[in-house]
Amino acid sequence: MKKAVFIRNASQLVTLRGTSNAPRVKGEMSELGIIENGSLWIEDGIIQAVGTDQELMARVNGRLTEADMVDASGKLVTPGLVDPHTHLVFAGSRENEFNMRLQGSTYMEIMNKGGGIHATTRATKAASHEELFQQSYTRLNQFLLHGVTTLEAKSGYGLEWETERKQLEVAKQLNEQHPIDIVSTFMGAHAIPKEYKDRPDDFVQLLIKQMIPKAAEWGLAEFNDVFCEKGVFTPEQAKIILEAGKYFGLMPKIHADEIEPYKGAELAAEIGAISADHLLKASEIGMKAMAEKGVVGVLLPGTAYFLMAESANARKMIDLGVPVALSTDCNPGSSPTISLPFIMNLGCLKMGMTPAEVITAATINAAHAINRSKDIGSLEVGKKGDVTIFNCENYMKLQYSYGVNHTDTVIKNGRVVVKDGHLAGPFSRP
């Protein structure tokens, strides 16, 4: 029988309790449900009790020998971090483009010269399944060491079915063999292939008649995403692609208003997307529409930071009632990072969010952005035993001391997978 885990004496236990039905908005994003000197009992991978150490000791005193004890004295305990937007499975590297940008080239200029997404597509097509698996597994270990217990992974570096399928099959295998839970998104609409440059509508037809139906039929994805941007997919094309995904049971997501205002936020609200991501150039009309429909705004400050662009206006979105989440956007071109804690730092330093808001954005709101809020994102009885423990006395210090990996311990499904800042492997699902 699997041993229970008893986390004791946390300086602060951030529960975010009572947040599973809808993502948090406005002032709710600052309500962390903190328990001082808090403790947590996990059994069979599920949280069974949450409260002060005194309360839990009174409840489980006769069962202490059944549990692995985790001393959280002087530490911050939060729900396991959730990353709701990554391009986890890819091959190759694009540091040469970093140098080009430092010399003045823009993201779209690089892509139009055959770099950008097209460069990663070539490398990913050339890589074997095993090569993609090993590279992505290594990245997942780094995510885990930075406190992430669940993440979303997109395809999109194939732009034709065989490579898209390879990416999605690698993500499925990773979900089976690594402690981190992987939620898959089909993103064949990541760019327009060069051979379709002068006939993009033909590629849209290929997506909706062949690729999207296969991704759904083969059970390889839960979401369908599209890069709605000038020079990529128009709002009209994006709507066709997202509607097709809905028809085949794939929930819509959208890369929206990243480089230019393009009414992506408005489309997200109209289509009923679960999230609209990026939003650097989203209009106020679009933000208000998202707020009205409850579309989660997944913000990616690491991308703006790396591209040396102005960040999304998180403060305005929150004040308008948009439920905001945060993500790394881990990818080889515009955000080559796996550190969600650093992204949380940037949320404060570059987007005007408060330390409390970024905790919410990287846990329960991020869980809502990938349709997992009933199972993860808060520390409540009945939810998965996914917990991150930081070497900080309080949640304020987690953001104050920026650019530092404070992760001490990670517990996934009631199992310690990171201890004292090191992997506690080998990893395979029980």
User: Is pLDDT above 80 for 374?
Assistant: yes
What's the rounded mean pLDDT across residues 147-157? 98
pLDDT tens digits, residue range 253-298?
999 999 999 999 999 999 999 999 999 999 999 999 999 999 999 9
Q: What is the pLDDT of residues 154-165, one digit of tens each?
A: 999 999 999 999
What per-residue confidence (pLDDT) applies to 352? 96
Please write the tens of the pLDDT for every residue from 338-369: 999 999 999 999 999 999 999 999 999 999 99
- Given pLDDT bands bounded at 50, 70 and 90, which one contains residue 19? low
Residues 182 and 151: their CA atoms lie apart, in Å, by: 5
Distance of CA 316 to the CA centre of its chain: 21
> 429 pLDDT band (50/70/90 cuts)?
very low
- pLDDT category at 107 given cuts 50, 70, 90 is confident
pLDDT (mean) for 145-152:
98
Give the model confidence (pLDDT) of 197-250 as tens digits. 999 999 999 999 999 999 999 999 999 999 999 999 999 999 999 999 999 999
pLDDT of residue 240: 98
**Average pLDDT of the chain?**
96
User: What pLDDT, in 10s, does the model give residues 50-105?
Assistant: 999 999 999 999 899 999 999 999 999 999 999 999 999 999 999 888 888 888 88
CA–CA distance, 166 with 218 (Å, rounded to integer): 12
Question: Taking 90 as the threshold, does the pLDDT of residue 138 lie above it?
Answer: yes
pLDDT of residue 430: 39
Q: Quote the pTM value.
A: 0.97
> Encoding tokens for residue 312?
């999304």
Do 189 and 227 form a contact (C-beta atoms < 8 A)? yes
pLDDT of 291-346, one tens digit each? 999 999 999 999 999 999 999 999 999 999 999 999 999 999 999 999 999 999 99
pLDDT value at residue 427: 66
- Binning pLDDT at 50, 70 and 90, where does residue 113 land? confident
Residue 2 binned pLDDT confidence (cut-offs 50, 70, 90): low
Please tell me the distance from the alpha carbon of residue 326 to that of residue 370, in angstroms, as a whole number: 12
> What is the arithmetic mean of pLDDT over 183-188?
98
